[in-house]
Amino acid sequence: MKPARDESVDLRQLQRDYALSLRLLELGQQRDVEPFLREALALVVEAVEARQGFLELHDDQTGGDGWLIESLGPDFALLSFDGPIDAADVPVVALECSGLAARRYDAQPGTTYLIRPDRYVAARWRRYNRAAVRAALARATGH
């Protein structure tokens, strides 16, 4: 006897849910944060059938109650790790070279990132250079 169409759809969904549950249990055994985040994001992207996904980074240095990305504002911004910056044209988010953001961004003292309004990295330097920032900003804005 052949199962009704609705029953086979439910069976397929149960199989997917079961496989997802097993992968979640396996993920719970992961002890290293980076592989955990990579695998968790891949799992979520797959489960919701998205083409891609992203994670927002939170760092206690930005106040502890928000996402690092929220501190960047709506325009271009510079992320500066332990470096003095005089960037009158671009807002600066200053962070220490300790904490989650520093690890994720492979920061060393002086590392600077130019972040676009869509939150993609436009450029990166190990040492801040005002002329290089201006040139990258011009390139990113089509000037």
The CATH number covering residue 70 comes to 3.40.30.120
Tokens (6 digits) for 34: 């980076």
Domain residues for 133? Answer: 65-140
Count of positions (residues) in the chain? 143
For the chain, the domain total comes to: 2
Q: How confident is the model at residue 139, as a pLDDT? A: 93
The pTM for the full model equals 0.55
What's residue 43's pLDDT? Answer: 84
**What's residue 73's pLDDT?**
83
The answer on 78 and 38 residing in a single domain is no
Residue 49 amino acid letter: E
Structure tokens at 82: 């332990």
- Give me the residue label for tokens 């325009």: 75
What span, in angstroms and rounded, lies between the C-alpha atoms of 105 and 59? 12
Q: Is residue 31 part of a domain?
A: yes
Predicted confidence at residue 9, as pLDDT, reads 63
Q: Residue 124 pairs with which residues in a beta bridge?
A: 113
pLDDT at 126: 93
Interatomic CA distance for residues 127 and 77, integer angstroms: 16
| Residue 108 within any structural domain of the chain | yes
Q: Across the 143 residues of the chain, what is the mean pLDDT of every consecutive 10-residue run?
A: 60 84 83 81 82 64 61 88 78 85 88 91 92 92 89
Residue partners of 48: CB distance under 8 A and separation at least 6: none
Same domain, residue pair 42 and 96 = no
pLDDT of 72: 82
Question: Distance between alpha carbon 25 and the CA centroid of its chain, in Å?
Answer: 24
Output the CA–CA distances (angstroms, integers) from residue 4 to 10, 82, 99, 138, in the order listed: 10, 64, 55, 62
Q: Flag whether 53 is in a domain.
A: no
